[in-house]
Structure 1
Amino acid sequence: MGLTNRQNVIFKTIVEEFTRTAEPIGSKTLMNLLDFPVSSATIRNEMATLEKCGLLEKTHTSSGRIPSSKGYRYYVENLMETDLDVPTKQTLQTYFSNRHYSIDDVIDKSCDILSQMTHLTSIVLGPECEEQKLQNIQLIPINSKSAVAIFVTDQGHTENKVFQFKEDVSLEDIRKCTDLLNDQLIGTPISQLEEKMNEIHPLMAANLVRHEVLFQAFVTAFMRFAQEKVKVSGRSNMLYQPEFSDMNRLKEFLNTLENGQLIREWTHSEEQNAISIGNKKELLQIGDCSVIRAKFKYSQGEEGELMVVGPNRMQYSKVVGLMDYMTNVIEDIFDDDQKKGGGKNE
C-alpha cells in the first residue's frame, strides 16, 4: 500500500490517540497532535484517502474517524514502535532481578503483570501433554506420610507432585509401587493414564499393603497431569472495555476463558489469518477482538504461549513491548536452569 510519509504519520497518530482515548479522531484534534503545520482541510483530505484505502472508517455518532481492522493490521506491520518507557523497564527489572524464582513462578507472574499493565486479559497456555506418552515415574519418599512423584514424558516434559498420604506408607510399598507403575504404564498416552490405572487396580491390590492410598494418589495426579495447562489473568478487565458492553457477548467471552481447550480452539483455528510480528509473535483478529500471542521455551523441546486478549482498540506498541520483555525473561531463566542442570520445577 503506497501511502505518503504524511499519510503514514497522520494514520499512526490516529491509531495511537484512538487506542488511548476510545474517542473518534477529527481533523481539529489531529492539528493539535501533529508536530508539523498542516491545515484542517488538508487533514480531512488525507483522512478521506485513508478511508478509501480501507484503513479508517466513520462512526455513526461522530464526524471523526477510527481505525478499521485492516488499519490495525497495517499499523502493526508497518508503523508500530515497541520500546518500553524507562519507568516500566525499571519496575520490571527490579521484580525479575530475583533469580530464585522457578520458571513456572516467572510465567505465572508474567501473566499477572501483563494484565495489570495493559488493563486487558492475559493468558498462558502450557504445552499440550495429552498425546505425549509416559516414559518414567519416580516416587521418592519424604517421610512415612509423604513422597514426591516425578513424571517424565517421551517429549521430555516433567511434572512434580507432592503426595500427602492419610496413612503411613512403607518404603517397601513405595519401591514396589514405583516398579509396578513403570512396568505397567510406560508408553501409555497421558490422556489414557486414568483408564489404565483402573485396569491395574487389582494388580496393585495384590502387591501393595497401602494399595488404595497409593491408587487414589496417582489417579488424582494423572488427572491433573492430563488437564490443559492454562492460566488466565485480568478477566474482569473486559468489564471496563466499551466494546464489551453487550453482556451476552461478554458472558460468552468469559466462558471461553474458563476452558483451556476452548481457548486453544479459539486462537488456533485454521480460519484465523495471523500476522507475524518479529520471530515469535503474531497478531490475530477474531471479530472485534485482537490477540497478541508469543511463544516461549517451556521445557526442553516444548513451547508455551503467552497471550494478551482485548478489543481491536488496544495499545499494540505497549502490549508487544511488554510481551517481548516477558518472553525474554522467561527464556533467560529457562536457559539458566538448563545450564545449571535443573528443570522447570526446580
Structure 2
Amino acid sequence: MLTPRKIEIFKAIVTEFIESAEPVGSNTLIEKFNLPYSSATIRNEMSDLEKLGLIEKTHTSSGRVPSTKGYHFYVEHLMETEDNRAVENAITQVFSDRRLDIDEAIRQSSDIISHMTNLTTVVLGPSAGDQVLRSVQLIPLNELSAMAVFVTEGGHAENRIFNFEEKISVEDIEQCTTILNERLKGTQLKDIVEKMESLRPILSVKLHQYEVLFEAFVGAFIRFAQSEVYLSGERNMLYQPEFANIDKLRQLTEMLEDSQMWQELSKRHDNLRLQKSANSELMWIDDMAVVSSTLRLEDDSEHQLMVVGPNRMEYGRVVSLINYVATMVEKVYGKGGQDERNEEE
C-alpha cells in the first residue's frame, strides 16, 4: 500500500535521480530533502517501494533508482508541470513570424526545446505515401549528377540530388523524364516503386544507361514517400551518462534517424505508454523516454514532435513545453488559424 510517507520518499528519489543520475541512498534523502525520518525507517520504506516495483537496486551501489513502472506512476500521479515562461516566449516569437511555413516553425521550436532541455528532439513530417504525383523534372547539373524535382497534386515539392558513378547523357535524362511523366502521373507515391518495375522493359529499350537512372529514381521515390525526419540536439545524448557506451550511442543515433521506426512506435499501444493530455503522451523503451505530440494542421495533415532522452528527464518541463508547441500549432496553423494569418497578412 502506498502511504503518504512512501509517496514522499518515492518523489524525493525521483527528483534526486533526475538531477544527479546517481543511485539514491537514505542518507542523501535525509540531508537534501530534510525528511523527518530515521535512516532505518527510510530504508524500510525503500524496501517496500522496491517490492512494489517503483524503484530498483543497481548492481554498483546500495542506492535505488526509479524503475520504468516508477516513472510511469510518477508522471501519472505526482508530476507537476513547470513554469517555462522564458522558453514559451521564444517559441511564441517563432510562431509570430508569418514568413515561416509550418515545417520551419516546428523545426525552430524543436531547436529551442532541445537547447533548453539538453535533450534530443525528433520531428516527423507528414507521410507523403498517399499523395498523388503530378510531375517529375530531372535537371542535369553535370555529367555525373542531376537534380530531380517531384511535385504532388497537393502542391508538395521535393528535390533530390543524384550522383552517378558513370557519365549520363542529357538525352537519356530527358527521355527518362518524359517516360516517367507519361506513365506515372496520377499515381500515389506509395505505389510508384511497384509501377516503375513494369517500366523497366520500356526504359531498357529507350535509354542507353537505363539501369543507373532506374535505380536512382527508385531510391528517390522511396525516400520521398516516407516521412522526413528532422533531428535537433543529437549531440546532447553524448553528455547523458546512460549513453556513455559508444556502441549504445551509435545504436541510438541509428534509431533516431529511422523514420519508419518512429512511425511504428507512434502507433504502439502497450503498458509502457501513457496518454498525459490531449496534446502529449509518453512511452518508455528500455532506459529511454519519449514524450510525443501529434500536431494536426488545417489541411488535416499531421506532424509528430518528439522529445527523446533518458528515463530521468525532467518530465514536468518537457510535457509543458511540448504541450505549448502543440497549442501554438493549433492556434496558428490549425483550423481557424489559417483565417487569422490571412487577415494579418
Structure 2 length-normalised TM: 0.74
Among residues 156, 159, 172, which one is paired with 1:159 in the alignment?
A: 156
3-state SS, counterpart of residue 279 of structure 1? coil
Amino acid of the residue matched to residue 18 of structure 2?
T
For 2:107 and 2:259, locate their aligned partners in 1 and report how far apart those are by CA, in whole Å: 15
Q: Is the 8 A contact 2:279 2:326 kept in 1?
A: no
Is the aligned partner of 1:334 residue 2:330? no
Q: 2:119: which partner in 1?
A: 120
Amino acid of the residue matched to residue 15 of structure 1?
V
Q: 1:209: which partner in 2?
A: none
Q: 2:110: which partner in 1?
A: 111
Closer, same or farther in 2 for the Cα pair 1:251/1:162, shift >3 Å?
Answer: closer
How far is the alpha carbon of 1:84 from its aligned partner?
2.5
Q: 2:26: which partner in 1?
A: 27
Give unmatched runs, 5+ long, in structure 1.
140-147, 164-176, 207-217
Q: 2:132: which partner in 1?
A: 134
Is the aligned partner of 1:239 residue 2:238? yes
Q: Is the 8 A contact 1:84 1:322 kept in 2?
A: no
Q: Is the 8 A contact 1:272 1:285 kept in 2?
A: no
Amino acid of the residue matched to residue 339 of structure 2?
K
Give unmatched runs, 5+ long, in structure 2.
138-148, 161-177, 207-216
Deviations 1:116-139 (A, max 9, x none): 122121101122222x14176699
Q: Is the 8 A contact 2:298 2:333 kept in 1?
A: yes
How far is the alpha carbon of 1:201 from its aligned partner?
12
3-state SS, counterpart of residue 66 of structure 1? strand
How far is the alpha carbon of 1:67 from its aligned partner?
0.5
How far is the alpha carbon of 1:150 from its aligned partner?
5.3
Deviations 1:32-53 (A, max 9, x none): 4436633333322322221121
Q: 1:282: which partner in 2?
A: 281
Amino acid of the residue matched to residue 25 of structure 2?
G
For 2:101 and 2:337, locate their aligned partners in 1 and report how far apart those are by CA, in whole Å: 9
Closer, same or farther in 2 for the Cα pair 1:150/1:77, shift >3 Å?
Answer: same
How far is the alpha carbon of 1:114 from its aligned partner?
2.0
Deviations 1:114-165 (A, max 9, x none): 22122121101122222x14176699xxxxxxxx985235xxxx414589xx
Q: Is the 8 A contact 2:75 2:315 kept in 1?
A: yes
Structure 1 length-normalised TM: 0.74
Tell me the percent identity.
42
Q: Is the 8 A contact 2:229 2:257 kept in 1?
A: no
Q: Is the 8 A contact 2:122 2:229 kept in 1?
A: yes
For 2:194 and 2:340, locate their aligned partners in 1 and report how far apart those are by CA, in whole Å: 37
How far is the alpha carbon of 1:271 from its aligned partner?
6.2
Q: Relative to structure 2, which stretch is displaced further, 72-81 or 7-16?
A: 7-16
Closer, same or farther in 2 for the Cα pair 1:245/1:138, shift >3 Å?
Answer: closer
For 1:256 and 1:66, locate their aligned partners in 2 and report how far apart those are by CA, in whole Å: 25
Closer, same or farther in 2 for the Cα pair 1:275/1:220, shift >3 Å?
Answer: closer
3-state SS, counterpart of residue 321 of structure 1? helix
Deviations 1:223-252 (A, max 9, x none): 663243111112221111111122222211
Q: Is the 8 A contact 2:131 2:152 kept in 1?
A: no
Aligned length: 310
Q: 2:80: which partner in 1?
A: 81
For 1:75 and 1:65, locate their aligned partners in 2 and report how far apart those are by CA, in whole Å: 15
Q: Is the 8 A contact 1:272 1:286 kept in 2?
A: no
For 2:35 and 2:265, locate their aligned partners in 1 and report how far apart those are by CA, in whole Å: 43
How far is the alpha carbon of 1:277 from its aligned partner?
1.0
How far is the alpha carbon of 1:15 from its aligned partner?
0.7
Amino acid of the residue matched to residue 24 of structure 2?
I
For 1:74 and 1:272, locate their aligned partners in 2 and report how far apart those are by CA, in whole Å: 12
Amino acid of the residue matched to residue 2 of structure 2?
L
Is the aligned partner of 1:309 residue 2:308? yes
For 1:124 and 1:245, locate their aligned partners in 2 and report how far apart those are by CA, in whole Å: 24
Q: 1:189: which partner in 2?
A: 188
For 1:128 and 1:103, locate their aligned partners in 2 and report how far apart those are by CA, in whole Å: 15
